[in-house]
Chain A
Amino acid sequence: SYDLTQPPSVSVSPGQTARITCSGDELPDHYAYWYQQRPGQAPVLVIYKDSQRPSGIPERFSGSSSGTTVTLTISGVQAEDEADYYCQLADYSTATYLLFGGGTKLTVL
């Protein structure tokens, strides 16, 4: 097994850009997915296949990938973006394995 490592917390002021990273040795070989979870709510998919945005997700959410790190970027952060964010990958190469990162708490100051 392996891990996806996220920073426990990120803080930004409204209107600034938040960048949340997710690192793992297997990331170059697999797509990453990102989920937003507001307090007391179920998660919501905000980025799929590294950089694709589902319909209904604001354009300020974007994703990128470079080597063993994927990054969720939120431009022009709003108060409503305060939430926990999780990265996730799926590995079907040798055995089925779906894995979440530990999560990052985004605080909007």
Chain B
Amino acid sequence: QMQLVQSGPEVKKPGTSVKVSCKASGFTFINSAVQWARQARGQGLEWVGWIAVGTGVTNYAQKFQERVTFTRDVSTSTAYMELGSLRSEDTAIYYCAGTLEWELPSSFDFWGQGTLVTVSS
């Protein structure tokens, strides 16, 4: 079955960066897009952006545009999200999600388990 497995929890200091990985299996990675969303404790979901795996085209939510970078490694079927200039408000669970609708990804069809990123001095 289609599966995404994310890297483990991270604790970072303000001003630094974090890189979260998302390893895919059970589908043709290159024919997919990977969405990223986050959820602060007790809060709702917030879209961060997406990467089309085959083309490498990215689309970032305006709020994160200056600080986030998505990359992918097709040889290992892994997508990455790097978020820089971390502040305490970035403390959240970060989710990757896959969709086979890679040209204009509109949904989050199957999800990773989430990665808790804690930003604290």
Q: Does A61 contact B (CB under 8 A)?
A: no
Question: Contact between B109 and A45 (Cβ–Cβ < 8 Å)?
Answer: yes
Main DSSP-derived SS at the A contact region = strand
Q: Which of A84-105 contact B (CB under 8 A)?
A: 86, 88-90, 92, 96-103
Q: If the complex has contacts A31-B106, A33-B106, A96-B59, are A44 and B111 also in contact, measured as CB distance less than 8 A?
A: yes
A96–B65 Cα gap in the complex (Å)?
12
Chain B contacts of A102 at CB under 8 A? Answer: 44
Question: Contact between B106 and A98 (Cβ–Cβ < 8 Å)?
Answer: yes
Q: Which of A31-45 contact B (CB under 8 A)?
A: 31, 33, 35, 42-45
Q: Which of A53-85 contact B (CB under 8 A)?
A: 54
Chain A contacts of B61 at CB under 8 A? Answer: 97-98
Q: Does B74 contact A (CB under 8 A)?
A: no
Which of B45, B109, B110 is within 8 Å of A100, CB to CB? B45
Q: Does B102 contact A (CB under 8 A)?
A: no
Known: A45-B107, A86-B44. 20 other contacts (CB 8 A): A31-B106, A33-B107, A35-B108, A42-B95, A42-B111, A42-B112, A43-B45, A43-B95, A43-B97, A43-B108, A45-B109, A90-B105, A97-B61, A98-B47, A98-B61, A98-B106, A99-B47, A100-B47, A102-B44, A103-B44
8 inter-chain pairs at a CB distance below 8 angstroms, sorted by A residue, are A42-B112, A43-B111, A45-B107, A45-B110, A88-B45, A90-B105, A97-B61, A98-B106
